[in-house]
Structure 1
Amino acid sequence: MKWRSARRSSNVDDRRGGGGGGMKLGLGGVAIVVVIGLLMGKNPMELLGMVAQVQQQMPAGSSGPAQAPPVDDEASQFVAAILGETEDVWSAVFEASGSRYTPATLVLFSGQVQSACGGASAAVGPFYCPADKQVYIDLSFFEQMERRLGGGGDFAEAYVIAHEVGHHVQTLTGISQKVNDVRRRGGNVEGADGPLVRQELQADCYAGLWAHHAQRRHAWLEAGDLEEALNTATAIGDDTLQRQSQGQVVPDSFTHGSAEQRVRWFRIGFESGDAGRCDTFAAARL
């Protein structure tokens, strides 16, 4: 992926090395993980399981990174380039519809971070907090994605960033509020056909839309790049993760969509480049 041709965003807040600390959780920490999971549409029990796995893999006495990475290292340059391209693409899409796009800030952190949605550890994975309109990423997730989930590669990482920015687009357009309204009324938002899955699949479609326009602007995809994104979408499908973690698939507890659905909706966005084709809430078939 020839990402170096993209404009660097100035909306990256690099907090790496700022006191990541260990990730041992007491009762208060468990409560925070549960709250974060509910706010972001993630299964709290899966998050707690991931935290436990990470804790087991940490060396005794480990307390996270001792110092921050160098300023403007290649990792932060990559993130700034992808974020900048999401800003340029979505600004054009919003302008075409007569509105204005307000960019999100992307926070890089290591170990732990405090957001307006509460505290979170690296085990939560990348997330978007609608309360402060910021995307949060611990770059160690990309290493785990490649090592343990079977995804990975620079375009796969770009897909993850673009997916989280897709949630920012949903906040700006009011889609996220509709899902929150269902939850507030006591409605069930999980399930293979539920609002959470529809919201996540739309963010996948938006990631594909971004990739479509970015490719037209830069012709930056190389052999194997698209497959990287599709392999990652497959690796983080609800059915794939459930099969790995509990040995069975429970569609009623889906929050992000199956591997097939995530690949399908990314492709719809990538092949069409049309935000109107990403209306998963009106789709009869997910």
Structure 2
Amino acid sequence: MDWKNLPSSGGGVEDGRGGGGLPGGGIAVGGVGGLIIALIAMFFGINPGSILGGDTSTQTQTQSQTQSQSGQSDETVDFVDRILGSTNQVWSGIFQQAGRTYTPPKLHLFSNAVNTACGQASSAVGPFYCPLDQKVYLDTRFFAQMDRQLGGGGDFAYSYVIAHEVGHHVQNELGIADQVTRAQQQARSEAEANSLSVRLELQADCFAGVWGNHVTDLAKLTEADVREAINTAAAIGDDTLQRQGQGYVVPDSFTHGTSQQRETWFMTGFKSGNPNTCDTFNKNYGQL
């Protein structure tokens, strides 16, 4: 993946870390159970309170270099900035074609813990989106954890993580998130509410695929790049995580979808490049 060909976000990344530096070290999680919680939280979407406690730039590559608080050039921040910038470009174009205006989110980098409009969070929850301040939150050391604990990472796998969280912002912009929240409040059972959460998450996976389709040529994506994202999607399926954590699966408790569902919906968006194919709410989301 040639991510340096992608556009800058033009100031969309907030570096709230203590300093710069490439990702290193890990995020402390307690044992397998803690890891499972962190990995599930990694792709949580529109209701951060349940876990947390409490216009598009066209700058050139030479203009897009982002600086950390320490004043040193930080390639990791530049990478995040360009992935965010490309999502802004893709979704602004899609919204414009539909006669709508897209408001790009901010992406806030942090270390260890962060205060958000949705409450306080630690690095253990993984990347997340807060709809109340319209920001994606990310401790970039999570990328190193992906390398160690999700069967490998890679630039496009990291990009998939960011694009998925931006997908939740797109849902927020379209009013889908609010509709799901209201439907969950009226659900007759926890299993029904969980099913709505699964559909929301699978749609964010599909939206991430839509973004990937639109940057394929610019980022010079290869089959190996796409495989990175698919491997990540498979690694964080509810069924896979439950088997690893407790030895059996409880489908009614799924909130993000199975490994196969996550792979399928990411590839649905990636192959089509059309968000209209991402209607997980009016289709059998397990099969296409």
Q: Normalised by the size of structure 2, how large is the TM-score?
A: 0.80
Displacement of 1:284 after TM fit?
2.3
Task: Look up the match of 2:107.
Answer: 106
Q: How does 1:65-80 map to 2 (within 5 A)?
A: 71-80=72-81
Instruction: Mark the CA change 1:69 to 1:191 in structure 2 (over 3 Å): closer, same or farther.
Output: farther
| CA displacement at 1:152 relative to structure 2 | 0.8
Amino acid in the other structure paired with 2:95: F
Are the counterparts in 2 of residues 16 and 110 from structure 1 also a CA contact under 8 Å? yes
Aligned twin of 2:60? none
Tell me by how many angstroms 1:188 deviates.
4.1
Quote the residue 1:211 is aligned against: 212
Task: State which drifts further: 9-18 or 183-192.
Answer: 183-192
Instruction: Read off the aligned partner of 2:143 and give its amino acid letter.
Output: F
Please give the per-residue CA displacement for 1:36-89, whole angstroms capped at 9, x wherever unaligned: 979637985xx99xxxxxxxxxxxxxxxxxx96654400000000000000000
Once residues 106 and 189 of structure 1 are traced to their aligned partners in structure 2, the CA distance between those partners, rounded to angstroms, is: 32
Q: Which amino acid aligns with 1:147?
A: R
* Structure ranking higher on relative contact order (CA contacts 8 Å, 6+ apart): 2
Correspondence list, 1:72-221, <5 A = 72-185=73-186, 187-188=188-189, 190=191, 194-216=195-217, 218-221=218-221
Q: Cα 1:77–1:245, aligned 2, differ >3 Å: closer, same or farther?
A: same
Deviation per CA, 1:71-127: give whole Å up to 9, x if none: 440000000000000000000000010001100000000100011000000000000
1:222 corresponds to: 222
Q: Distance in 2 between matches of 1:201 and 1:258?
A: 9
* Structure-2 residue corresponding to 1:40: 47
- Give the Cα–Cα distance (whole angstroms) in 1 for the partners of residues 214 and 45 of structure 2: 32
- 1: CA distance between counterparts of 2:80 and 2:123? 17
Ranges in structure 2 where 5+ consecutive residues have no aligned partner: 20-26, 30-37, 54-67
Q: Which amino acid aligns with 1:118?
A: G
Number of equivalenced pairs: 253
Answer yes or no: is the 8 Å Cα contact 2:150–2:235 preserved in 1. yes
Q: Pick closer, same or farther for the CA change 1:188–1:41 going to 2, 3 Å.
A: farther
Corresponding position of 1:60: none
The Cα of 1:207 is off from its aligned counterpart by 0.3
Whole-Å separation in 1 of the counterparts to 2:138 and 2:231: 20
Unaligned residue ranges in structure 1 (runs of 5+): 25-32, 49-66
**In 2, Cα distance between equivalents of 1:170 and 1:93:** 13
1:16–1:109 CA contact under 8 A, matched in 2:
yes
Distance in 2 (CA, whole Å) between partners of 1:246 and 1:68 is 42
Question: Once the two structures are aligned, what percentage of the paired residues are identical?
Answer: 51
